[in-house]
Structure 1
Amino acid sequence: MTEIYNNAIEQCVLAALMTVQNSLETVMNDLSEDCFYATRHQEIYKAIIDLSNANKPYDVVFVEQKLNEKQTFVGETASDYLLTLMADAPSSFYNLESYVAELNILKAHREAEEIGKRITMKARDLSIPDIHQEVENIVSQSNASDKVEKSSFTFEEALKRAGEQLIQKAEAKANKQYSGVKFNLAHLDNLVGTIQKGHFCVIGGRPGSGKSTLAQMVSIQTAMQFKEAVLVISAEMDVETFTNRCISALTSIPFENIHNAELYDGMMQQFAEAQQRFAKLPIHIEDKQKPTIAEIHAYARKAKRLYKNLGCMIVDYLQLVRDPTKKDRYQEVSSISRDLKAMAKEFDCPVIALAQLNRESEKGKRPKASDLKESGQIEQDADQILLVHPILNSEDEMPSGITEIIVAKNRHGKKGVVRVMDRLDICRFASVRIDE
């Protein structure tokens, strides 16, 4: 009879977790203790989880130390078995997600076997008057114990959930609490409304148009006013540049002065005070060039574990993200767009992705959602699309100091155009008026 477990795969998963940095974050949502059949493998996995929750490395040395502390390891010593495990495990650690998927299949079959055993026991009990009802109870209890989030609703249940959500939003608004992200630009916020949890918002623009500035304003507003954690995937600019831009916006010290280290007339004192005042802002920055979509998943899991909740996730910018599983670039960008949309729901927070526009949008006319570079899938997936369009002087085509923010798509509200004043010298925009 076929065994419903695979010792080699279990060993390989544990070896990968203890060898590859941040590997747990990649598979945490898909891996649980009961994915492992062997009791000692369960104990090793629990030790890895304990170390991760304590923000400690979960390599072989720390895992052995944790197992010795808990004294729950059965059989040979933890040290001896860990040496055996690392020696026997397959040498390739690059298929971790595939191995975890296989463990979940085996786990499901073991659960089905256990249900079958319980049903067999009931079938042999001839005192049960309605065996079909008893079997249905066993199956329904098994489904109820499943950790998968409920996704099937009667309309009555759906109405109840919608009503509860409405009340929560109204209470949060009345108490000026977090209910989603805003740009801190009154006219724009009035037009777009709040970008809610689960929304996927795209901010498009040509290089230098100010799309990063707009996203940065969201991150500061979310972290500073609402004390909600913000995860920034900074694929374009380095962490120092992003941080200095935030300091410029928070203190009104011109970014050029900070960038060139030309601080005078009290600027240095302002900068030092800002370092102390804003040090605890819950903004988490991942500075990685060309991150893969799997790495972004891992960053989000890590941030959620550190901060418990995410108020917002910002990806700067979408066309720099990679999905190695796709060969065609069009398919790659489409897949990334769909994944970011799914992540907004998975992590229960807005995901704001910056995106480049095609060169066609530089010909003086207002850009459209179809000008988003490389894929129409972005336009389809987004809940909101905002296009940043600097206005140039007609005489010399130099910046006029005014930028149009075009709300080209708003699945949950109005579309339109808002004009804002450029303060890109201090990495901000300021409200001007709304065009009718």
Structure 2
Amino acid sequence: MGGGIDVQEKAASARKNTSDFDPRRQEDLVTSLSAPPHSQVVQPTTSPKMDQKAIALVLSINEGTADIHGIGVDVCKDVPVHDITPTRMYQFCEAIAADIFHSAGIQKHEAEDCFNAIAELINNTRLLGCSKFERYEGMSFLRQNLSKVMRFQAETEKIICPPAHTMGCIIAAIAYRKLQPAHEGFFQENEDLVKVFGELNGIQWLSVTIEVWAKVRGCAFTIELDENSEKPVAEIRKVDGNSRWVVTTRKPDINRYEGILRNALCPAVQNSGLTVPKLESGDSPIPSVEPNDTSNEPCPLSDDDKIEDNVITLRDYTRQVKSLGKRLSTPDRAIVKRLRREILKKPEQLEQQDQEVGFDDRLRYSLKNNTNHGVKEAITEAGLPQGYFGSYTHYKDVWKTCLQNHVAIPNSLRVLVDHHCTPSQVFHLTELEKDHLAEMEKEVYV
């Protein structure tokens, strides 16, 4: 009889112990009850608040509703990744890759192989499985890849760009998971990482790496700047006696990851007092600039000593000012006319004014009717280079002139931009318009 009571007490105790398991996970419950004590999964000890966030994150990923911008260690430090289904986790990594593509102004179908490579690498590095940089499973890949980049740069003393999937890996870790090192020595141990993405701002070439992935794949390549290049062109050339990929491109638009990576990598080194490797010749930091901005580009048009360096841009600017000024009221029109006279105060430019008036009228009419052929003829008769027509430089100048004169962007100009410009360039022009409208709203409220 005493033995029977003892058995009942043990059974009651066992039933009480099972209440600690999550009833929503029936499979885990059965496994835990049937497995011996040494094989049972030990749940991480976290605060109730953090544990609820982890559970909510896992559920949202499994349901396909997770916010990719809400996975930082500041939101959820310890994520039970074993509770996330592999298919849903891969789809979540694809969502991160899609956001990276969107920030670069490129659609998935334009570089699908590159998209898949980035998503697969993010998935394979178990992005949510760690809370510190040292434990990130992508670090060994990054060290190996960036070591090759730095050796390549030391040999050539040229701008060297890492491949797209390498950029996607570091972006996912810093911009989305927001990983930080556990100790300051991390940056000294990973000088190549700090050098490429911190000092040299290598992430500015993100859109270029995506566009040329179909050719270069996972190879680092040399950047050859050409501001007249409409799209990046990759080809194999002899560089210092070795066959290397060389990509001819203009400097791309600024992307939002540049500031994020610099803030995460550069300030930490400065605050820690660590010695940063000295920059060698040809190895200076590369600031991001808007397309067509070069070191010898003229200053604003009011600086007379710099205007002569770019006559075509000046002529185009004055034509657009005159054309748009015709739509203004009489007082404003007088201001525009006086401004144009100040710009064209040089004698050789005044002699061309009569010729420009007729050309300006034809160009404005052709743009309004979206007749590309008529615009080409007008440019030919005015003596402008054919390469200027239909170029991003041309469209950007006209676009900016409209904004500066508070004139709505014509639909015909939008059609031409959509037809002739890359998605990245269209995105940049749209952002310029949004920023201008935002500034106008601020002025109204003030």
Normalising by structure 2, we get a TM-score of 0.23
Higher strand proportion: 1
> Computing the radius of gyration over CA atoms, which structure comes out larger, 1 or 2?
2
Higher helix proportion: 2
